[in-house]
Amino acid sequence: MLEFTGWARASIEFVIGLHTTYYICEKDNIRGKMDSAKSDRIALTDVGNTNLRLIEGELKKLIVRTIDSTTMVLIPRDRSIDCMEVARDNGYLNAVATGFYIDSSVVATVMHSLQHIGDGRICLLDLNGDVIEGEIIDVDSRWDLMFIQSSVKREPISLKDSMASIGDFVIACGTAYGILRPFLSVGIVSGSEVKADVGYGLIEGLLLLSLPILMGMSGSPIVDLNGSVVGMVVAKAFDANEFSLATPSTRVLYSYRILKRYGRIAHIVLGINVLALRSIATHFGLRYGLVISRILNPNISRVCGFSDGDILLSINNRKMHTIEDLRLALDEALLNNSPLVIEYLSRLDRKIYSCTIDELAMFTNPRLL
């Protein structure tokens, strides 16, 4: 049996002591880290719960504001029936939709619910149960819009002046099945530039929403998390309640601005079909531009010299990145009653040309100017 004495024994005891101390310290350190991690998790959970409660509180405020600006739109069978009777007895109803205040006494809703009425009288029923007289100001068949003058004032919802982005979280608030209560639905923006038939013809430039709707919610505002309207429900998509289609808020906003400017709604129609094909623009060394796929109005070819396949670059210095840029540029020109300065690239000689249209009346439908 080996036996250590003197300095050797002392050295061994020192080393063993070091290892023992290290082991105990390391064990305590690990336990401390675990306790600290547990505390951190608890703290993070508390912070997360607090943030969720704050988010929930803000969402509730947003929803309340939206509900306060939302109304049921009642379309009577004939003008002789009092709105109070229409609200009490659905036998007097021709159709029901949802609407929302975009101005203190102006309601926006869908036009397709108006197919079987011959006069301008409309009844409104807000979600507090108040029956309100309304009068149609004008309709915009191009975007399935109807604007109604309300006999009372309500707090309006602001309209976003730019397109919603794919992936944006949105909330719909409407009335369904003629029931006087708000129906709320949450979803996301899934697509844009959708063309669909909503009952009386094709509408282009619609938003596709992963958001379920029910019968009667046509005309419902679609609001983003900032509380701004990004669209208005016009129909369900693919004959499925899980997806819906909406007119972008820019269409509602500019149609209403034109209505206020001229007393009725009109749009500049160049008479061309365009496609947003980035690959073709890139082929010509361009970072933007819309391909002219078809010319429907010979006047535009006569004035500007367009041909199929040319690339529309800008209108009044607004670059054509999307088809919505084209719509906005034309509406802005009409609002300002300004000439159209159009820049395009010819596919034949790859040169850039410019033309000016001074007489907007030639391309305005219906004629205003």
Q: What is the pLDDT of residue 367?
A: 62
pLDDT at res. 28: 53
**What pLDDT shows up at residue 57?**
83
Q: Is 338 helix (H, G, I), strand (E, B) or coil?
A: coil
Domain ranges of the chain: 70-262, 266-365
Mean pLDDT, the chain, integer: 85
Does residue 113 contact residue 219 with C-beta atoms inside 8 Å?
Answer: yes
Cα gap 350→336, rounded to integer Å: 32
CA distance linking residue 229 with residue 221, whole number of Å: 6
Q: How many C-beta atoms surround the C-beta of residue 203 within 10 A?
A: 22
Q: In this structure, are residues 132 and 101 in contact, taking their beta carbons and an 8 Å threshold?
A: no
Residue 341: φ, ψ to 5°: -105, 110
What b/e string do you get for 48-58 counting C-beta neighbours within 10 Å, with b at 16 or more? eeeeeeeeeee
**pTM attached to this predicted model:** 0.83
Q: What is the mean pLDDT of residues 44-56?
A: 70
In the structure, what pLDDT confidence band is assigned to residue 45 with cuts at 50, 70 and 90? low
Which pLDDT does position 51 carry in this prediction?
77
pLDDT digits (tens, 9 = 90+) for 220-255: 999 999 999 999 999 988 776 689 999 999 999 999
Can you name the CATH fold of 70-262?
Thrombin, subunit H (2.40.10)
The least confident of 80-84, 205-209, 279-283, 364-368 is 364-368
Say if residue 114's pLDDT is above 80: no
Residues 269-290: what's their mean pLDDT?
A: 91
Q: Give the pLDDT mean for 324-346.
A: 95
pLDDT at 362 over 80: yes
Distance of CA 321 to the CA centre of its chain: 18
Report which of residues 4 and 196 the model is more confident about: 196
Is the CB of residue 341 less than 8 Å from the CB of residue 315? Answer: yes
Residue 361 is classified by DSSP as G
The alpha-helical segments, DSSP class H, found in the chain are 6-69, 83-88, 249-262, 278-283, 298-304, 323-336
Which residue bears the tokens 């439908």? 365
Q: Kindly state the tokens that stand for 293.
A: 């796929």
What is the pLDDT, as a whole number, of residue 42? Answer: 57
The pLDDT, as a whole number, for residue 223 is 97
Q: H/E element holding 168?
A: none
* Pick from 178, 192, 259, 198: nearest CA to 222: 192
Q: How is residue 129 annotated by DSSP?
A: S
DSSP state string for 93-104: EEEEEEEEEEET
Residue 359: the pLDDT is 87
The superfamily CATH assigns to domain 266-365 is PDZ domain (2.30.42.10)
Taking 80 as the threshold, does the pLDDT of residue 4 lie above it?
no
Identify whether the C-beta of residue 244 lies closer than 8 Å to the C-beta of residue 231.
no
Q: What amino acid occupies position 58?
A: E
